[in-house]
Amino acid sequence: MAKKQTIFVCQNCGAKAPKELGRCPACGEWGTYVEEVIEKSTGGKLLKVTAPPQTPIRIQDVISTEEIRIDTCSNELNRVLGGGLVPGSLVLIGGEPGIGKSTLVLQVVLQIQGIKTLYISGEESVKQIKLRAERLKQTDNNCYVVSETSLERIFEHIQSTQPNLVIIDSIQTIASEAVESSAGSLSQVRECAAQLLKFAKESNIPFFIIGHINKEGSIAGPKILEHIVDTVLQFEGDQNHMYRILRSIKNRFGSTSELGIFEMRQNGLREVSNPSELLLSQNHQGLSGIAIASAVEGIRPFLIEVQALVSSAAYGTPQRSSTGFDLRRLNMLLAVLEKRAGFKLMQKDVFLNIAGGLRVNDPAIDLAVLASVLSSSLDIPIDHDICMTGEIGLSGEIRPVNRIEQRIAEAQKLGFKRIIIPRYSSETPLKSSKIEITQVQKVEEAFRILFKK
């Protein structure tokens, strides 16, 4: 028998080498080379697309039809997808093991109305899936399950079942016969994803594909998978917190700034449609180091609690630690505080935490971050009915933020009496009798209001 030919493939970028390399010359990653058997000659053939030749036409002449989207019966998921699931699309759901990916998709297929779904699991037996479904206490209509790892047989199952939606749990456990390397290797993942994409586009069946995340936080077989699929959703959260966040990283059919919030319960995931109420701890009156920010993720405003602890550093180099907020940005803000407001934090440890285990990218929470640090440092609590929003520039100026009306409206809805916002060149963006709107231009002004100096 002829000796099998093997090649070493970088699991990060797909570069090939005849021998194992410590560092990939193409992407610079260390220790990513894995030996793989060279693909059988039949491998490439399956991927050839024989599309009829097309002639270019003017864009005005292209007939656009109203896009039909499938309602997933989950408001949070629909929004993250950009208004529902597009037929024929490939949606990758990535996340760490145990975060709840299987639970999320199983719940979706059990909830979804009026369409036939096929749940293919390469990780669990049908009995295990049934147990989980019982735990979710949802009795379904039209959901078929099968435990399968061969891509070819998966296609057979799809052909015989004729579903309108297919779930693959997970891409790392399925393998195509066209490639000889083991399931989960880069060439298998790439081959399977490419074949699934071709199948989805031809049959117009949408797919949810689950993908595991490696320890660096990217989806295993990373960039390659992200380029192939239409939508990449990341399911994240802290194992110790019950909140789970579904974030859109790439979306050919919608915005990527959307966010879905869920809560992991004993009987499955519950949608959190009003995040503000959950993210604010109820009783913080009289406690220092807490500031409430009116933030926006995607198009949704919500109020979050920023907590800070400032204490004397025990050792020479003070500690700076931050959960849910960019540490470099925190350092920058602390430097602004020192320079502009004259607070000496050089000998202090600073710990910052966004309540609820949420990671926030909105720069408008800057003001609340500094206010909470200052509140802890001075040990003066901020009035519990004040909230704030504003991005801070390097010279201590408070810069205007987007969607200011929505931020004010959300604060008003939750019963805040006063909101501090950046000064706008035009007149007050929203006049309201219920909430007092204070415009500030510099951090010093905001601090004077908050700490009444």
* Residue stretches of the annotated binding site for ATP: 95-102
Position 372 contacts Mg ion (CB under 5 A):
no
- Residues placed in the known binding site: 95-102
Which C-beta is closer to ligand TYD: that of 107 or that of 322? 107
Which C-beta is closer to ligand TYD: that of 79 or that of 101? 101
The footprint of ligand TYD (CB under 6 A) covers 95, 97-103, 132, 135-136, 264, 266-268
CB of 167 to Mg ion, least distance (A): 11
Which C-beta is closer to ligand TYD: that of 108 or that of 136? 136
Could you say which of Mg ion, ligand TYD, none residue 127 binds, taking C-beta under 5 to 8 angstroms by partner kind?
none
* Binding track, positions 90-129, relative to Mg ion; x by CB under 5 A: ------------x---------------------------
Which H, E and C letters describe the chain, residue by residue? CCCCCEEEEECCCCCEECCCCCECCCCCCECCEEEEECCCCCCHHHHCCCCCCCCCCCHHHCCCCCCCCECCCCHHHHHHHCCCECCCCEEEEEECCCCCHHHHHHHHHHHCCCCCEEEEECCCCHHHHHHHHHHCCCCCCCEEEEECCEHHHHHHHHHHHCCCEEEEECHHHCECCCCCCCCCCHHHHHHHHHHHHHHHHHHCCCEEEEEEECCCCCECCHHHHHHHCCEEEEEECCCCCCEEEEEEEEECCCCCCCEEEEEEECCEEEECCCHHHHHCCCCCCCCCCEEEEEEEECCEEEEEEEEEEEEECCCCCCCEEEECCCHHHHHHHHHHHHHHHCCCCCCEEEEEEEHHHCCCCCHHHHHHHHHHHHHHHHCCCCCCCEEECCEECCCCEEECCCCHHHHHHHHHHCCCCEEEEECCCCCCCCCCCCCEEEEECEHHHHHHHHHCC
Could you say which of Mg ion, ligand TYD, none residue 365 binds, taking C-beta under 5 to 8 angstroms by partner kind?
none
Which C-beta is closer to Mg ion: that of 96 or that of 391? 96
CB of 99 to Mg ion, least distance (A): 9
CB of 218 to ligand TYD, least distance (A): 16
Could you say which of ligand TYD, Mg ion, none residue 135 binds, taking C-beta under 5 to 8 angstroms by partner kind?
ligand TYD
CB of 210 to ligand TYD, least distance (A): 7
CB of 242 to ligand TYD, least distance (A): 8
Which C-beta is closer to Mg ion: that of 102 or that of 231? 102
Residues that bind Mg ion (CB under 5 A): 102
